[in-house]
Amino acid sequence: MTTFLSNREIYEQVICGIVPQTRERLWIATADIKDMYVDTGGRDMVPFLEVLDGMLKRGVELRLIHAKEPGPNWREDFDRHPGLWEGMERMLCPRVHFKCIIVDGRMAYFGSANLTGAGMGAKSARKRNFENGVLTDDPILVGSVVEQFDSVWRGDFCADCGRRDFCGDPVG
């Protein structure tokens, strides 16, 4: 299954659909990251970080690569969930501009949307960005997205980066 998604579909099918179904590992890469709220099917929307905290408590491995420091609201929500402090692995890489969400190494979203409410389609139609992406379980496509994420995570580019002076997290 390979599906083109745009705008609100990204939020509904990726953030509210496949992400909560993660069993083993969730890998996320984004250039920008801001506070985002998620409809969990209950009465109230909850911070996406609360969803991630619940996943950690279920034993899900979480990795996040982002290019710049998150916004202040995200940091406040992050501080409300002490399990994320040590449980979620994070890497700051100023060169990352690709966006992807990989669920259990078997399903991947990749596209233009940053991990923000406006990017992922969580905001109202008048406030969300015009984004697109692909949701797939095709092993070749998923494998390519996994390899791109993993090569940055391993630090394959750190030694010859050229932006090392701006990196607070060099791997190599």
Strands 45-47, 61-66: pairing kind = unpaired
38 part of a folded domain: yes
Domain count, the chain: 1
Q: How far apart are CA 35 and CA 78, in angstroms?
A: 9
Contact 114, 33 (CB under 8 A): yes
The CATH number of whichever domain residue 86 belongs to comes to 3.30.870.10
111 part of a folded domain: yes
- pTM given for the model: 0.93
What is the span of the domain harbouring residue 19?
A: 2-166
Of the candidates 41, 28, 7, the one whose C-alpha atom is nearest the C-alpha of residue 96 is 28
pLDDT tens digits, one per residue of 98-146: 999 999 999 999 999 999 888 888 888 888 889 999 999 999 999 999 9
172 part of a folded domain: no
**Which segment, 3-17, 73-87, 133-147, is predicted with the most confidence on average?**
133-147
171 part of a folded domain: no
Q: How far apart are CA 137 and CA 41, in angstroms?
A: 25
136 part of a folded domain: yes
